[in-house]
Chain A
Amino acid sequence: MIAEFGHFALLLILVAGFSQALLFSPIRLTVGRIAAALSFGPKTAAAVSGNAGTGTVSGAGLDADEHPDMAGSPVEAYALPSNMIALPVVILVLGLIAQAALIQSFIVSDFSLPIVAGISHSSTPLLFRVGAAFITDGGAMLLWVLATALANTVFALQVFRRSSQPDTSAIVQNQFTANALSILGIVITVLAVVTLVDADPFLREAVAPLDGRGMNPQSQDMLRILREPALYLGLAGLAVIFAVTVSGLAVRKIDRGFAETLRPWVMGAWLLLGLAIAINAYRSYSQQAWGTWWYWDTAENSLLIPWLLATALVHCRAVLEKTETLKSWTAFLGISAFALGWFGVYLTQSDLLSPLPKMLTQSGNSTALLIGFCVLFSAAYFLFWRQSDRMAEQKAFGFVSRESGMFVNSVTLSLMAAVILIGTIYPLVLRWVDGEHITVGAPFYVTTLLPAILPLMFIMGFAPVLRWRQDELWLIGRRMKLAAILSAIIILFVSIRFIELSPLPLIGLGLAGWILTSSVSDLWARLWHQPDHGESKYRNLQLLGPRYISMTLSHIGLAILIAGGSASAVWEEQVVLSARAGQSIQVGPYNLQYEGVSLLAGENYATRQATFILYRNSLPLEELFPEIRYYPIRGTETREADIFHGRDGDVHVSVGDRSEDGGRIVTVRFLPMMPWVWGGMILMLIGGSVSILTRIFLRIRKNGVPAS
């Protein structure tokens, strides 16, 4: 019964999404005009003809050929009654009902639903039964629908609030925002259809199995489950960006207002996709004996590609907002980020690139997802092709300017995304073309991406101190003097201290130092060398603004991440041995004492838990408990490494089976500066949040003050 409730809610989402698409679209006005001509409903007719008088109404609203003077035109009356806000809210409530119904089915272990029987089991702990609702194809699609509905509601609130002046009854005054809501309605409709056709989570079978097949032990991991909401909320943010961009293209309003509307969405999507990537990396790192945090596998690449494009968009959007240039490039990125996010979901859900044969992957059908992708984005790109070169850009910028720095940076980031995309789908294409199987792995990506990353990092160092419009090279040189000297000292120090170091990690460390020193010295200059405002230095800090702080934190975070990544790869120490209880293992500056293995019972698994005591300078620091878990339902084992995050590096311990000589196979890795990688990622995420949180904080404070 609960599942049917959810199923019905999902169907209603489809209907409501479609209604939203229609009600906010220009078609509504045509219908209204016909109704007016038939004098059918006098009140609506009056309202509609009133709009028609202002000249915004166009039968084919998406075809802006009819009103070429639309570019840059200010707010246009496009009156919609205020109760229209109810529609996005209804969709959100329906989405919550559907999601709750699915979660409830998992909680009560309703095995008549194949989705529950396929992945859950009566012995699965409650937390993971709830989480299981997100990680199947159908559940993930439903989560995506819910996330998009949430973004849709927030966007509607943003739009309705902005235009709700007390003196007008018209709420959505702008055809631009109405179109965006209409396109979001289309996206929600398509996603709901895809969910129902491809992987309907609410299907029932007549005969329920006695118990489920159990969760894949690899997925019984909180990080794995938390990745899903981050990913799909990020994609929902990209959906809003897509809708706003397409709408902006349709009415040729790619201008400052457009960029301002996009601002929280670009930042939010960038942040959430980054969070999903960070979670994914840490999960790879902490599982089993791997200790590697990036494999360039399909799931990782399909997160990285939209994130790179979102990063490019963050920069282009800022340029657009400031100078109203790079219009069509920003629009192209806005469409492409969502397109590739969607395509990534298709690649991971279809399991086309899985090394296992089709029948082993238990992947469902993803055809509707692909068809939806083709229809939606071919329409969007067609519109882009028609409209892009008609957007006039009045302002120019010189080759050496802030705009240039951000433009070149975004082109490089998109280039990297394109290379990763080609590397990801090439094996697939080749398999279709001539049946040849090849692998594109880490060496390919490293060789091809490195030539792009190095100049990117170099530009990243000085781009923030560039002036807008036009700058001079020698002036930049003067501003970057300190940073250049400091990073040269870093490179010199590292190369002398570690004579045997190969050039590549040296360049990586040097460039990280370059970004770090230039960010810090610029911050320093802004804080202390500003012309005196007659106030405290605290005032200077305030003057920096959340955007500058956010940018600086993110850049420093990336520098730290790159430094940590290069260092840990170069100076990694690894010990693999067959250990006996009481044996001591030396790795890096640490000493690990193996205490033995005890057999313990987890909630739905049995575990062999090894105990290690970590010493440094013969002082005990911490106990580490790597495990081998055995999940009887699926009959498979997982390895859980334990990690100590120290000052100078991570100690990564994992255990294996008994070896022939009666000892326990132990793998210990010391990864110097590995905490820098995680710290860098966190700093980037904090940088992104600063921008969003200050905005929310300021809005709350503004609203808190009485309007009079």
Chain B
Amino acid sequence: MRKPFLAFICLMGLAMPLAISSPALAVNPDEMLSNPVLEERARDISQELRCLVCQNQSIDDSDAELAHDLRVLVRERLVAGDTNEEVIDYIVARYGDYVLLNPPLKPETYVLWASPIVLAILALLAVAAFYRRKQREAAAKPDTLSSDEETRLNEILGKSENGGSK
């Protein structure tokens, strides 16, 4: 009973964008599925996918025509009974990884995903080294003035004895 109804919705979803030629608003009521569970899933998926002609906007946010087409495509696949992963795979197969806002973990992106961790470890090591050096310097130097400080002090004292320039 449910399948033909969903197919009808899906057809509606396809027909509407054809009828509207000017750019459509992000998530038109026309596109929305009447099944709230499916629609919710569609919105979730849409937020993961990039509008191909925009600057880092998801298709859920964009009102470009291409984003609209993708939103309809997502809903079409959902109605056809795909799981969320299958829908995303379907779209990636057609548009490539470029469409994913969250870059997938694969050999090309190992460096990308590893970099925050590597950087964090390096920063930790650097900070640790910094403190160890500080500690060693502090241990090596008792609470007396260093030679630099002493010359500086003499300089200042010497100057004030001469009457000072200021």
Contact = CB atoms under 8 A, between A and B. Distances in A.
A440 interface: yes
B109 A438 contact: yes
Q: What's the interface size class on B, roughly?
A: 35 or more
B57 A295 contact: yes
B146 interface: yes
Contact of B112 (A165, A355, A408, A426): A426
A396 B131 CA distance: 9
B139 to A, nearest CB: 9
B52 A355 contact: yes
A295 B56 CA distance: 6
A399 interface: yes
Contacts of A393: 137
A288 B19 contact: no
Interface string A327-342: 0000000000000000
A158 interface: no
A660 B16 contact: yes
Nearest to A449: B116
A447 B103 CA distance: 12
B80 interface: no
Given A394-B146, A443-B48, A419 B56 contact: no
Contacts of A451: 120
Contacts of A392: 146, 148
B122 to A, nearest CB: 9
Interface in A394-429: 394, 396-397, 399, 407-408, 411-412, 414-415, 418-419, 422-423, 426
B108 to A, nearest CB: 5
Contacts of A397: 134
A298 B48 contact: no
A439 B101 contact: yes
Given A394-B148, A419-B115, A657 B108 contact: no
B152 A439 contact: no
Interface string A653-674: 0111101100001010000000
Contact of B97 (A298, A396, A436, A443): A436
A412 B16 CA distance: 49
Contacts of B26: 288-290, 667
Interface residues of A, number: 62
A443 B120 contact: no
Contact of A415 (B27, B52, B123, B148): B123
Interface string A353-397: 011100000000000000000000000000000000000111011
A42 B97 CA distance: 72
Contact of A444 (B24, B102, B130, B135): B102
B109 to A, nearest CB: 7
A78 to B, nearest CB: 15
A290 to B, nearest CB: 5
Contact of B28 (A71, A441, A659): A659
Nearest to B122: A415
A639 B23 CA distance: 11
Nearest to B62: A290
Contacts of A438: 97-98, 100, 103, 108-109
Contacts of B112: 422-423, 426, 440, 444
Interface in B1-54: 16, 19-20, 22-30, 32, 48, 50, 52-54
Given A437-B97, A654-B25, A576 B32 contact: yes
B25 A667 contact: yes
20 contacts: A288-B63, A289-B25, A290-B26, A295-B55, A295-B56, A297-B57, A354-B55, A407-B127, A419-B116, A426-B111, A439-B56, A439-B98, A439-B100, A442-B58, A444-B102, A655-B25, A657-B22, A660-B19, A665-B25, A667-B25
Interface of A: 71-72, 74, 165, 288-292, 295-299, 354-356, 392-394, 396-397, 399, 407-408, 411-412, 414-415, 418-419, 422-423, 426, 430, 434, 436-444, 447-448, 451-452, 576-578, 637, 639, 654-657, 659-660, 665, 667
The 6 A-B pairs of least Cβ separation, nearest first, read A441-B101, A656-B25, A443-B102, A297-B55, A396-B138, A437-B98
